[in-house]
Amino acid sequence: MRKPSALLVLLSVAVVAGCSSTTDRSDERTSAAAPAPVSNSTALHTTPAAESCEDHYLNALQPRDKLAQLLTVGVTGTDDAVNVVSKYHVGGIFIGGWTDQSLVTAGGLEKVNAAFNIPPMVTIDEEGGRVERLGNVIGALPAARTAAATMSPEQYYNVALQHGQAMRKLGITVNFAPDVDVSDEPANAVIGDRSFSDDPAKVTTYATQFIRAMHDAGVQPVIKHFPGHGHGSGDSHKGPVQTPPLAQLMTDDLVPFRNLVGSGAGVMVGHLDVPGLTSPGVPASISPAAMALLRNGVGYGAAPFNGPIFTDDLGGMAAITDRMGIVSAVETALEAGADVALWITTNAVPAVLDNLVAAMSSGKLNPQQVNQSVLRVARFKGTLHC
């Protein structure tokens, strides 16, 4: 067994010190020990309040490493993944169709997880059907629309559970699925058969079973594409996409998100221009208004969302790249309220981090907001339990 690093020891101590008490943690952060009696000639001294486990976790990270924890990047294989984790301490790696599968089939992830004291999220978009990266390794998963048309919800849960267990055995920890878009598009359209149904209730039913299966398998699911791509005007891989107005989304596309924000799944925000919500030329993935809608819940009748908000790919989809480069896109997304910026290559990571450090130093990127995002990511990937 590998000897624990200093940072892991510190983080472990943080969890014990900050989380072992059954008292309310807000009291831990604000109360101080009662002062001992003193004479009139003696200055009053109080004992500082003990650090919470959240503060211990944050204080163990340098500012640049905090920002790196908010980045998830696509990798080509083991060497690329080890390099970006060991040098830049990114919070997640993404396995795409271009990734050498020996990363997951030949022990590559063991090297990646050992490359930094905080193991990265190992992410993938294993939806089933035509969006599947591991079918040749662990077997096929049916497309969402096919599953909803041919299986009962419980049958689908069992199939998804077996798939999730196989994914977890390979070392996958986060799945950017299920797709909870509501769509009646042809099967081969951009969403198409990736959607369970054009009925929001049916989408909710089958997505609930997928989420339950992933959780039971030890994989964190992420629902997408908020606030709803199913009735969008085109393909955000190829250019801007406009959805119906927000008022129309309320009764259709937003319903599954409203139903599922409390499920424990993360949420991915799409590159979607939404009349009545986003500003012109500012898609939801970089829009403060869209992030606030999701986070607060009030604007669409949902509970507040306290989990991590992921962007869709910021580096390989024309809905973003036609508007700005990756350095600006990542900064804009995090400033808007995203917790994790996702893109599909590693070469820009140093420039992205340099820019984020400057943005946080100047106050453009709020340090407290960064801290909250770091904590959300840490809880989601299981490195913080308080």
Average pLDDT, stretch 267-277? 98
Average pLDDT over the chain, rounded to whole?
Answer: 90
* Distance of alpha carbon 328 from the chain centroid: 19
Is 229 designated active site? Answer: no
Query: Does domain 50-55+66-381 sit in CATH 3.20.20.300?
Result: yes
- The pLDDT value recorded for residue 36 is 38
Which tokens in the block code for residue 144?
């969402």
pLDDT bin (cut points 50, 70, 90) of residue 81 is very high
Which tokens in the block code for residue 193?
């058969």
Residue 342: enclosing H or E segment and its boundaries?
strand 341-343
pLDDT bin (cut points 50, 70, 90) of residue 385 is confident
CA distances from 21 to 26, 27, 189 (A): 12, 11, 53
- The pLDDT value recorded for residue 202 is 98
Average pLDDT, stretch 64-82? 98
Pair 359, 331: CB distance under 8 Å: yes
- Domain boundaries along the sequence of the chain: 50-55+66-381
Give bridge partners of residue 264 from the DSSP assignment. none
Q: Residues of the chain with pLDDT > 90: what percent?
A: 85
- The pLDDT value recorded for residue 49 is 61
Is 313 designated active site? Answer: no
- The pLDDT value recorded for residue 234 is 85
Whole-angstrom distance, CA of residue 331 vs CA of residue 48: 36
Question: How many CB atoms within 10 Å of residue 360?
Answer: 21
pLDDT (tens digit per residue) in 37-50: 333 333 334 445 67
Average pLDDT, stretch 112-117? 97
pTM across the whole model: 0.88
pLDDT (tens digit per residue) in 293-304: 999 999 999 999
pLDDT bin (cut points 50, 70, 90) of residue 11 is very low
More confident: 47 or 123:
123
Whole-angstrom distance, CA of residue 16 vs CA of residue 51: 11
Phi and psi torsions of 125, nearest 5°: -115, 85
Strand 266-269, strand 309-311: pairing: parallel
| Signed CA dihedral, 54, 258, 313, 323: sign only | negative
Average pLDDT, stretch 363-369? 97
Could you give the dihedral angle defined by the CA atoms of residues 347, 353, 354 and 357, in that order, rounded to the nearest 10 degrees?
180
Pair 341, 314: CB distance under 8 Å: yes
Average pLDDT, stretch 347-358? 98
pLDDT (tens digit per residue) in 176-215: 999 999 999 999 999 999 999 999 999 999 999 999 999 9
Residue 251: enclosing H or E segment and its boundaries?
none
CA distances from 148 to 128, 130, 135 (A): 12, 16, 19
Whether residue 22 is predicted with pLDDT greater than 50 in this model: the reply is no
pLDDT (tens digit per residue) in 286-331: 999 999 999 999 999 999 999 999 999 999 999 999 999 999 999 9
Whole-angstrom distance, CA of residue 185 vs CA of residue 101: 32
- The pLDDT value recorded for residue 262 is 97
Q: Residues of the chain with pLDDT > 70: what percent?
A: 87
CA distances from 296 to 66, 224, 300, 369 (A): 24, 17, 9, 15
pLDDT (tens digit per residue) in 226-248: 999 999 998 999 999 999 999 99
Catalytic residue among 237, 252, 313, 339: 237
- The pLDDT value recorded for residue 7 is 46
Catalytic residue among 80, 252, 312, 313: 312
Which tokens in the block code for residue 183?
């769509």
- The pLDDT value recorded for residue 34 is 33
